[in-house]
A = this chain, B = another copy of it.
Amino acid sequence: MENKVTPRTLQGFVELLPADQLAFEDMKGKIENVYKRFGFVPLDTPTLEYSEVLLAKAGGETEKQIYRFTHHDTDVSLRFDLTVPLARYVAQHFPDLSFPFKRYQISKSFRGERPQKGRFREFYQCDIDVIGSDTLDLCYDAEMTAAINTVFTEFNIGDFVIRINNRKILTGFFGSLGLGDITADVMRTIDKMPKIGAEKTQEELTKLGVGAEALARINEFTSVKGTNAEKIAALRSLCTDGTFNIGVDELESVIKTAYALGVPEKNLEIDLSIVRGLDYYTGTVYETFIVGHENFGSVCSGGRYDDLAGFYTDKKLPGVGASIGLSRLFAQLRENGIIEAAKRTTAEVLILPTGSDRFAFTAKIADCLRNAGIATDVYWSDRSLKAKFKYADRAGVRFVAVIGESEEAEGKMSLRRMDGGEQVSVTAEEAIEIIRK
């Protein structure tokens, strides 16, 4: 016996068995359909790019995680997200694009982080962004929340809430406190508040050197409660800073347009503790949580930025985007039994010919069903009927059609619903009608 290589995959690189893969594709397909329905065009950038280009902006932790290597004297890297390639694409192809440019990309990205539960080294991101040339209307921010709302509604995985804020409110408010150098640290502490609680936040803020008066105002700010309308009203009386007030106006406008776009009030909630990354976002920011599973973390995040591609071009390219980390979300949903993976086949009907001379008639039936758009599998192998039904059972197929000698003589099949329906003797045309129902 020759030596065998052990078949195995790299740590942190996931591949799924058929049932899970089908459930994954179902979610991916829903996302893609919604993105298209909102008028986003597909984009498919290269997996590999010049390191110089991909890392123009990166640094710190991100840069350490990059899959970077030299191929024929060229320094190349695997993409680590879909935003940098988008920035490069828009800067490179600017004259050939229409603006606002609405694109979606559903692709794998790569980060060599320490593998841990729910963290992958290769993972799907499902991004939408709208990029304006010079300016971009605020309605696009609202459209993002509507797209997210539609995706998570169609997932049908229970209640969810999009928590929305505006960075101008934060920079305006915290800037007005006169905190100087510690402003950024204070905002980072506020960002952690949902995790660490109000008391610990208070402690940390005091430790940072926040004075009593500022602390009182921060308390007032983080205590804003009520409906979205009540929060907006409370904010209006809280601060006179110009940037702050622009932020409140933007937030109010985005929320109103989102409602008009069909986002239910219960799915969109102002949350002043949402900060997101400190450098990038400049206006609207949002995170999405599954109610009862807040421990998953945000399952869809994004926001508004002023300068998409400053590392590549002098053109002003403001944008707004959202990203679903599908690999991670899928793993969380499966682990918690929130979605099922019941089917192992794309087929709706499985044809089981009996005997070995049914092939011509069976082939005609299969062709008929497929021409009618019905996904059809045929078990061609000459095995026992028991083996055939075992294959049908494991596949989780909805219908099985048995074709034996008597069926062929009548030009029919014996069609059986696998979820316990009766067996009927039908022609291909009749079968098509039953299966379509």
Contacts and interface: CB of A to CB of B under 8 A. Distances in A.
A234 to B, nearest CB: 24
Interface stretch (A236-244, A292-300, A373-381, A412-420): A373-381
Contact of A41 (B18, B40, B93, B382): B18
A96 interface: yes
A89 interface: yes
Nearest to A17: B96
A39 interface: yes
Contacts of A361: 260
A376 B394 CA distance: 40
A366 B373 CA distance: 30
A219 interface: no
Interface string A235-271: 0000000000000000000001100111000000000
A262 B136 contact: no
A100 interface: yes
A382 to B, nearest CB: 6
A341 to B, nearest CB: 12
Which of A39, A139, A146, A382 has the most chain B CB atoms closer than 10 A to its own CB?
A: A39
Interface string A70-110: 11101010100000000111011100111010110000101
A346 interface: yes
A48 B10 contact: yes
A340 interface: no
Interface residues of A, number: 108
Interface in A331-379: 344-347, 350, 359-361, 363-364, 366-367, 370-371, 373-379
Given A98-B344, A137-B380, A5 B40 contact: no
Interface string A100-125: 10110000101010000000001000
A354 to B, nearest CB: 14
A4 B375 CA distance: 52
A50 interface: yes
B92 A7 contact: yes
A92 B87 CA distance: 39
Interface stretch (A202-210, A224-232, A306-314, A421-429): A306-314
Contacts of A313: 4, 7
A163 B298 CA distance: 53
Contact of A312 (B7, B18, B47): B7
A248 to B, nearest CB: 18
Contacts of A363: 139, 142, 257, 260-262
Contacts of A69: 67, 69-71
B96 A381 contact: no
Contacts of A345: 39, 41
B21 A43 contact: yes
Interface of A: 1, 4-10, 13-18, 21-22, 24-25, 35-50, 52-53, 56, 67, 69-72, 74, 76, 78, 87-89, 91-93, 96-98, 100, 102-103, 108, 110, 112, 122, 132, 135-137, 139-140, 142-143, 146, 150, 256-257, 260-262, 309, 311-314, 344-347, 350, 359-361, 363-364, 366-367, 370-371, 373-382, 391, 394-395
15 contacts: A5-B56, A8-B92, A9-B45, A9-B92, A10-B76, A21-B41, A41-B346, A100-B381, A132-B381, A257-B359, A260-B367, A261-B363, A261-B367, A262-B363, A262-B371
